[in-house]
Chains A and B, each alone.
Chain A
Amino acid sequence: MEQQLQQLKEEALTKIQDASTVKELNDVRVAYLGKKGPITDLLKGMGKLPAEERPKMGALVNVVREVVTESLEARMTLLEEEAINAQLAKEAIDVTLPGRPIQTGNHHPLTRVVEEIEDFFISMGYEIAEGPEVEKDYYNFEALNLPKGHPARDMQDSFYISEEVLLRTHTSPVQARTMEAKGGEAIKIICPGKVYRRDNDDATHSHQFTQIEGLVVGENIKMSDLKGTLDLFAKKMFGADREIRLRPSFFPFTEPSVEMDISCFKCGGDGCNVCKKTGWIEILGAGMVHPNVLQMAGYDPAAVTGFAFGMGPERIAMLKNGVEDIRHFYTNDVRFISQFHRSEA
């Protein structure tokens, strides 16, 4: 019987090693260790043995059973691992295949500039004011110290609808309307919007374009306040190490009037193509609100003062993003607009 047991063990161990799948191995388990298997049979047959041999044989059977079980389990672990590996190998993918695109659009480059400017000034306590694009001559010109026949009206050839109505040539009428509506109260506003001028569309002109202006009116508003405000704005918009300089200029609605240059953000002021070798880039026009403008809107120029500034988002986008032709902004070529998909902190 002992010999039989040894033989059984050898046989089982061989079959275990021969099993190449989990299923085959399970068959071996059932065949040898199952309730109907030979080892169980041997245990059942123990009763026929003399009582003194029983413990010895019992121990022997258990040893065999343990050896077989151990072997089986080891083999099982191995086979399971192989099976998983096979499965994983089968599941392998080409990770260089393209991902499923998340198709999103983006802001028009001009909106991007406008919102950046809006957000800066909102953080400084400004509100956003808007107004009609078809405007009265009064708000577009007269209330801004540009009476009929004023030579400066030549600067802005306009699209008239009737003698008294035109497409606004700047967003300044929103300032005039806001002042009129506020009836003497302090004002801090930003006015973005579309404007129109009688220009032939070419690389640097567009009959429709955008403007964004700012207006601050209150007691004791000084030219130094304008300079400080614009300096912060330039640093936010064009980089912390930007310097600004003001140059005298002329706008009928401000006096004194200035133009603001920033030190070139491309070359830092050494001179390059962007700044046309001057080191400076003209960014905006500004000035102290003309007393006539304040007066016409119902403010007392002796008691309150104000400053105003205005700029062209097209120009800023052209400078910042290297766009060479203003018409790109109005062609709506997806290959152009989609380049402004990236966010910039």
Chain B
Amino acid sequence: MLVSTKWLNEYVNINGINPADLAEKITRSGIEVDSIIDRSHGMTNVVVGYVKECVKHPEADKLNICQVDVGEETTQIICGAPNIAQGQKVIVARPGAVLPGGMKIKKAKLRGEESNGMICSLQELGIEGKLVAKAYAEGIYVLPQDTIPGENALPLLGLDDTVLEFDLTPNRSDALSMLGVAYEVGAILSQGIALPKIDFTESAEKAEDKLKLRVDAPADNPMYVAKVVKNIKVAESPLWLQNYLMAAGVRPHNNVVDITNYVLMEYGQPLHAFDYDRLGTGEIVVRHAEEGEKITTLDDTERTLNSHNLVITNGKEPVAIAGVMGGANSEVHNGTTTVVIESAYFAPASVRQTSKEVGLRSDASTRFEKGVDPNRVQEAAERAAQLMAELAGGEVLSGSVIVDELDKTAERITISPDYINSRLGMKISMDDMLSILERLKIPTEAINGQLVIEAPTRRQDLRIKEDIIEEVARMYGYDEIPKTLPVSESTPGGLTPYQAKRRIVRQFLEGAGLYQAITYSLTSKEQSQAYALETAPVTELLMPMSEERSILRQSLIPHLLDATTYNVARRIDSVALYETGSVFLGEEEDGLPREVEHVAAVLTGKWVDHAWQGETKKVDFFVMKGIVEGMMERLGLLDGLAFEQAAIDGMHPGRTANIFLNGERIGLVGQIHPTEQKKRDLKETYVMELNLERILSVDTDELLYAPVPRFPSISRDIALVVDSGTSAGTLEAIIRKAGGKLLKDVKLFDLYEGNNVEEGKKSLAFSMTYFDPERTLTDEEVVKAHEKVLNALTNDADAQLRG
């Protein structure tokens, strides 16, 4: 909502109040003022000029040489506007003027001819092109003949004005009108307000004799007021009216349309003007559209309607979409003489739905959608009739044609001062409350210590006690509310074990060298199930904004890979990222997908990069596996962890493992398939993804310390030659099983294939630690245990012992 302070001043005296101060007061008490617009843009030296003479420039087709009377002198100005003509009153920016946008006007020569200023269009004075009346949209603006050369043009054009731009919350539809704003500002400044005086002469002819009205859809249109004005002379509106409209962001058209828009802005009640003769039937019928019925609206667009769209018809065909836009067939035009003014109450939900469906939002529809004041419907029609009589020479037919089933009673709210104070934590006296409500012009009576309030219908947001608390508090001032803390049983607060463990996971992964990423949950169809640990029906948006963000992901890996590609493309060769976030699986019984929190990571490039000491290491499978193991170790879940070679789409078939926890598959780790890497412009890249929810919900034992060893342990190393296909995991399992209780630890410390090892074989070396917490082991015992291990390796894995 754009509020011209010049216009506002007609209803509430704000003379002498700095607009910035006023804006601050309004913001602090309830309506946010988004910006303060000085319409003068600090312009000076902009005056009325009279074009005494206008001849073509001999050297330039499009230029004219004008002799312009600017009051103190007649001076020559070159003008290139197509609509310049002798005899016009125009706007002249004299040398020294600075126009909005920084253009400085100086004496100049144009193709050899002197030019002492510039004849201006409204756009050049800072008015948006879309607000300039069509007649002047492509050229200079022509002022009325009664203006005086040399006169300051800014007040004439209403540019000596400051506009406050309101950022209205949806509840404050009352401030979608100048009168509503006046009530608010009046309350803030503790001032009375001057409402428009409606007073005009009616002709003897009765409106109801000229126009028939029927409403077939009273639920969606409980009130319809029509007034008829005849002998109208359609013309340009007076300047002051055009100025107010432009200040309010509305383009002037002609006096009839401008008056309806003016009253819309003044009262917040949308009006429509029909050309009576074009209606053709002398009848208005409001009904729901027939399915597929068509109407061409004022913007020359043909629109197809549904059966729930409310339309105004002439009894035969639609002439307007109710509350949204008029039809072209009944539009007021230059030759219109008789006008039907429509002022109605259309049900908010109906207008909202229709405006959404036909894709039209107008100043009218936004007001109807929020509910207009039932008590202003009739008054707005009268106000428009009055202005048509005053400004368009019209004769107003007596009375109105009305259908009215609208409930106009005020909401009654009873509330005690104690209640207000207890909710606010304040001690405002009843007198102060009464005075605030009086300032707001909210009729209130004090009865038996209670405030009995009749909420005015212009304030649709006042329904319950809490609404009154807000009125009192915002006018009393939120600065006056003391600062206290809730008095309640003290609660320990804190993270749940799950939340605490999630933080541990993050800390571990970051400690391990990974940065936390946050990627989008919405993805493309193609990526939605890629790398998913578990697939289920996808969750798809009804109306996605793009294919790329149309479906909820079932794996975190694709977007982490996207992020990796993004970084690598910017020459960050080494990328280490992780993410914790939800994946969305299928549709559960309650209609919602199952959301499962996962953790995933991606690694590419170097893992250790310390080249000058000869330490560099590319990432590989075992780096990522080590991260997984480390994380599980931190969570106390290393014991049940197992890795198994796996074939997974999009993954390297020889370098990928499924991860199991206590026999249940919880994740995957491995290298991205080289073809996939190439597609994504990546070099060797490793990923892992784990079902975090599963991991974090495993109960772990209490941490009990094991005594620090008091007796020495004994180590034995062995080197084995086995078939290349025998996995280290298998050998370790054999060793552990055979080693029995005394075997405390097994560690692979060498792996070799190549020279000196038979083709198809490999050599592995393990270090084994034997230990008994109760005593020092004897050599004999160790030898016995170790022999068992060696035998088992020979028997179960066909291992040969090396040297």
What 0/1 readout, one digit per residue, does chain B (466-481) give for beta carbons within 8 Å of chain A? 1101100110001101
Q: Is the CB of B518 within 8 A of A330?
A: yes
Nearest CB of chain B from residue A329's CB, rounded to whole Å: 7
Q: Is the CB of A248 within 8 A of B470?
A: yes
Residue A65 is within 8 A (CB to CB) of chain B in the complex: no
Of B338-346, B527-535, B576-584, B645-653, which binds chain A?
B576-584
Give A107 to B464 CA distance when docked, in angstroms. Answer: 45
Of A34-42, A50-58, A82-90, A161-169, which binds chain B?
A161-169
Nearest CB of chain B from residue A244's CB, rounded to whole Å: 9
Of A7-15, A72-80, A122-130, which binds chain B?
A122-130
Chain A residues in 8 Å Cβ range of B422? 220, 222
Q: Is the CB of B424 within 8 A of A223?
A: yes
A245 contact from B479, B514, B543, Cβ within 8 A: B479
B287-344 contacts to A (CB < 8 Å): none
Nearest CB of chain B from residue A238's CB, rounded to whole Å: 16
B172 contact from A100, A106, A250, Cβ within 8 A: A250
Among the interface residues A198, A223, A247, A249, which one has the most CB atoms of the partner chain B within 10 A? Answer: A223
Nearest CB of chain A from residue B480's CB, rounded to whole Å: 10
Chain A residues in 8 Å Cβ range of B575? 334
Residue A227 is within 8 A (CB to CB) of chain B in the complex: yes
Residue B681 is within 8 A (CB to CB) of chain A in the complex: no
Give A159 to B422 CA distance when docked, in angstroms. Answer: 40
Give A58 to B578 CA distance when docked, in angstroms. Answer: 86
A288 contact from B171, B423, B493, B615, Cβ within 8 A: B423
Q: Is the CB of B567 within 8 A of A160?
A: no
Q: Is the CB of A247 within 8 A of B27?
A: yes
Give A134 to B581 CA distance when docked, in angstroms. Answer: 13
Q: Is the CB of A255 within 8 A of B466?
A: yes
Chain B residues in 8 Å Cβ range of A200? 545
Nearest CB of chain B from residue A176's CB, rounded to whole Å: 14
The 3 closest A-B pairs by CB, nearest first: A224-B425, A250-B169, A256-B470
A-B contacts besides A125-B493, A330-B520, 9 pairs, CB < 8 Å? A100-B613, A108-B515, A111-B506, A133-B584, A161-B542, A224-B482, A248-B474, A255-B466, A332-B567
Residue A258 is within 8 A (CB to CB) of chain B in the complex: yes
B492-507 contacts to A (CB < 8 Å): 492-496, 499, 503, 506
Residue A310 is within 8 A (CB to CB) of chain B in the complex: no
Residue B275 is within 8 A (CB to CB) of chain A in the complex: no
The 13 sampled A-B contact pairs (Cβ below 8 Å) are A104-B510, A106-B510, A125-B490, A149-B349, A151-B369, A188-B486, A188-B488, A222-B425, A246-B478, A246-B481, A250-B169, A250-B172, A330-B519
Chain B residues in 8 Å Cβ range of A335? 570, 572
Nearest CB of chain B from residue A270's CB, rounded to whole Å: 16
Chain B residues in 8 Å Cβ range of A107? 506, 510, 516
Give A162 to B543 CA distance when docked, in angstroms. Answer: 10
Q: Is the CB of A249 within 8 A of B424?
A: no
Chain B residues in 8 Å Cβ range of A162? 542, 591
Residue A4 is within 8 A (CB to CB) of chain B in the complex: no
Q: Is the CB of B582 within 8 A of A133?
A: yes
Q: Is the CB of A104 within 8 A of B425?
A: no
Known A154-B170, A161-B541, A245-B479; judge A110-B518 contact (CB<8 A): yes
Nearest CB of chain B from residue A130's CB, rounded to whole Å: 8
Name which residue of chain A comes closest to B568, CB basis.
A334
Q: Is the CB of B467 within 8 A of A224?
A: no
Residue A103 is within 8 A (CB to CB) of chain B in the complex: yes
Chain B residues in 8 Å Cβ range of A151? 170, 348, 352, 369-370
Chain A residues in 8 Å Cβ range of B194? none
What 0/1 readout, one digit per residue, does chain A (90-115) give for beta carbons within 8 Å of chain B? 00000001101101111110110001
Name which residue of chain A comes closest to B574, CB basis.
A334
Chain A residues in 8 Å Cβ range of B483? 224, 227-228, 231
Chain B residues in 8 Å Cβ range of A115? 503
Name which residue of chain B comes closest to A219, CB basis.
B488
Q: Is the CB of B503 within 8 A of A124?
A: no
Residue B722 is within 8 A (CB to CB) of chain A in the complex: no
Residue B410 is within 8 A (CB to CB) of chain A in the complex: no
Give A40 to B151 CA distance when docked, in angstroms. Answer: 132
Nearest CB of chain A from residue B268's CB, rounded to whole Å: 15
Nearest CB of chain B from residue A211's CB, rounded to whole Å: 14
What 0/1 readout, one digit per residue, does chain B (712-728) give for beta carbons within 8 Å of chain A? 00000000000000000
Nearest CB of chain A from residue B170's CB, rounded to whole Å: 4
Chain B residues in 8 Å Cβ range of A274? none
Residue B18 is within 8 A (CB to CB) of chain A in the complex: no
Nearest CB of chain B from residue A218's CB, rounded to whole Å: 5
Q: Is the CB of A160 within 8 A of B510?
A: no
Residue A312 is within 8 A (CB to CB) of chain B in the complex: no
Give A186 to B596 CA distance when docked, in angstroms. Answer: 29
Q: Is the CB of B540 within 8 A of A108?
A: no
Chain A residues in 8 Å Cβ range of B169? 249-250, 257
Chain A residues in 8 Å Cβ range of B145? none
Chain B residues in 8 Å Cβ range of A229? 485-486
Residue B552 is within 8 A (CB to CB) of chain A in the complex: yes
B591 contact from A165, A225, A247, Cβ within 8 A: A165
Name which residue of chain A comes closest to B471, CB basis.
A256
Give A105 to B437 CA distance when docked, in angstroms. Answer: 58
Give A111 to B352 CA distance when docked, in angstroms. Answer: 39
Chain A residues in 8 Å Cβ range of B584? 133-134
Residues in chain B within 8 A of chain A (CB atoms): 27-30, 32, 169-172, 348-349, 352-353, 369-370, 422-426, 461, 464-467, 469-470, 473-474, 478-479, 481-496, 499, 503, 506, 509-522, 539-545, 549, 552, 563, 566-567, 570, 572, 575-578, 581-582, 584, 590-593, 595, 608-610, 612-613, 615
Among the interface residues B488, B506, B514, B539, which one has the most CB atoms of the partner chain A within 10 A? Answer: B488
Known A165-B592, A332-B518; judge A222-B484 contact (CB<8 A): yes
Q: Is the CB of A255 within 8 A of B516?
A: no
Give A121 to B578 CA distance when docked, in angstroms. Answer: 27
Give A130 to B696 CA distance when docked, in angstroms. Answer: 15
Residue A5 is within 8 A (CB to CB) of chain B in the complex: no
A216-244 contacts to B (CB < 8 Å): 216, 218-225, 227-229, 231-232
Chain A residues in 8 Å Cβ range of B578? 105
Give A132 to B485 CA distance when docked, in angstroms. Answer: 30
Residue A170 is within 8 A (CB to CB) of chain B in the complex: no
Q: Is the CB of A135 within 8 A of B592?
A: yes
Q: Is the CB of B542 within 8 A of A125?
A: no
Q: Is the CB of A225 within 8 A of B485?
A: yes
Chain A residues in 8 Å Cβ range of B493? 121-127, 188
Q: Is the CB of A338 within 8 A of B515?
A: yes
Nearest CB of chain B from residue A102's CB, rounded to whole Å: 9
Among the interface residues A151, A196, A337, which one has the most CB atoms of the partner chain B within 10 A? Answer: A151
Nearest CB of chain B from residue A236's CB, rounded to whole Å: 13
Give A102 to B729 CA distance when docked, in angstroms. Answer: 31
Chain A residues in 8 Å Cβ range of B171? 152, 250
Give A124 to B465 CA distance when docked, in angstroms. Answer: 31
Name which residue of chain B comes closest to A154, CB basis.
B170
Among the interface residues B479, B486, B511, which one has the most CB atoms of the partner chain A within 10 A? Answer: B486
Q: Is the CB of B610 within 8 A of A221?
A: no
Chain B residues in 8 Å Cβ range of A228? 482-485
Q: Is the CB of A160 within 8 A of B543?
A: yes
Chain A residues in 8 Å Cβ range of B592? 132, 134-136, 165
Q: Is the CB of B488 within 8 A of A186?
A: yes
Q: Is the CB of B591 within 8 A of A136?
A: yes
Chain A residues in 8 Å Cβ range of B615? 100
Name which residue of chain B comes closest to A132, CB basis.
B595
Chain A residues in 8 Å Cβ range of B492? 125
Q: Is the CB of A332 within 8 A of B563?
A: yes
Name which residue of chain A comes closest to B563, CB basis.
A332
Residue A207 is within 8 A (CB to CB) of chain B in the complex: yes
